A and B are shown apart, each in its own frame.
Chain A
Amino acid sequence: MNLRRDVFQAIADPTRRAILLLVASQAMTAGAIASNFGTARPTVSKHLQILTECDLLAQEPNGREILYRLNPGKLKELADFIEPFRKLWDERFNTLETIMKNYKARE
């Protein structure tokens, strides 16, 4: 589960979440991404490295440049992670709702 924990650490940082949003619509170079943030270029590079290492971002060669793009599969995996927990409660509450509707009908 180590890798998974890294993914959660990756998205815990607001700058990294902003980067993910930024590249969601189009693949961008590190420079173009950095120009959106007030932080130093090496700081953004570090964020890109972390996001790439845990597969949230993918690198795409484009001529002499490297573009960063979102890896939607990994994001979906993250969203799916909490889904079983939500489903568990949803099903439990659905049962409550059904039982109470019948209860009301009986009254």
Chain B
Amino acid sequence: MTLKTKIIAEDGKQDLLITREFDLPLDLLFRAYVEPDLVAQWMGTNVLKLDNRNHGSWQFETTDAQGNVVFRANGVIHEFVPNRKITRTFEIETTSFPVQLEFLEFESLSDHTSKLTMQIVFKSVAHRDQMLQLPFAQGLNMAHNRLQNLVSPLN
């Protein structure tokens, strides 16, 4: 089975490449990145601002059930070419992680399939590796927490 989403992270480089082939025509894929309510649905976050144009900007925010902000990110949209590309920055306000530069390229593969290529450039190799490790570390934490939940009743 070939994987639909691929990650290419070469050793010693400060960028990574994410590619994904979608079972969607190009215009629908692109629309998922443009319309705020659609972005909100698939990203699972509130879209405070999404000004899709050259020199535009965006801001997303996620709150927990009590209304506390758990995640807020923003960036500027450097270049916006409908159905072709979005070049933007991405910065998480709620952490001190440095801003990233993202190149998103959209292409049509057939009438009902399309492909997204996303290149993310980080401030340094170490920052890229840290970002790659994050879900792994979180996974470990979750496993650890589960283990603790299993163990604590025994104490």
Distance A93 CA – B22 CA, assembled complex (angstroms): 8
- Indicate with 1 or 0, residue by residue over B1-25, a CB within 8 angstroms of chain A CB atoms: 0011111010110000010101110
Given contacts A11-B11, A86-B3, A96-B42, A81 and B24 within 8 Å (CB-CB):
no
Given contacts A82-B132, A84-B138, A85-B134, A96 and B32 within 8 Å (CB-CB):
yes
Counting contact residues on chain A (CB < 8 A from B), the size range is 20 to 34
Given contacts A12-B11, A103-B38, A88 and B135 within 8 Å (CB-CB):
yes
List B residues 113-129 near A (Cβ within 8 Å): 116, 129
Q: Which of the residues B32, B116, B133, B138 comes within 8 Å of A99, measured between beta carbons? A: B32
Min distance, Cβ A20 to any Cβ of chain B, angstroms: 14
The answer, yes or no, to whether A90 is at the interface (CB within 8 Å) is yes
The answer, yes or no, to whether B41 is at the interface (CB within 8 Å) is yes
Distance A87 CA – B138 CA, assembled complex (angstroms): 13
Q: Which of the residues A93, A101, A103, A104 comes within 8 Å of B20, measured between beta carbons? A: A93
Seen from chain A, the residues whose Cβ lies within 8 Å of a Cβ on chain B are 1, 8, 11-12, 81-82, 84-90, 92-97, 99-101, 103-104
Seen from chain B, the residues whose Cβ lies within 8 Å of a Cβ on chain A are 3-7, 9, 11-12, 18, 20, 22-24, 28-29, 31-32, 38, 41-44, 116, 129, 131-136, 138-139
Extra contacts, 19 of them, besides A85-B134, A89-B7, A97-B22 (Cβ < 8 A), are A8-B11, A12-B12, A81-B133, A81-B136, A82-B7, A82-B132, A84-B136, A85-B131, A85-B135, A85-B136, A86-B3, A86-B5, A95-B44, A96-B32, A97-B23, A99-B41, A100-B24, A103-B28, A103-B31
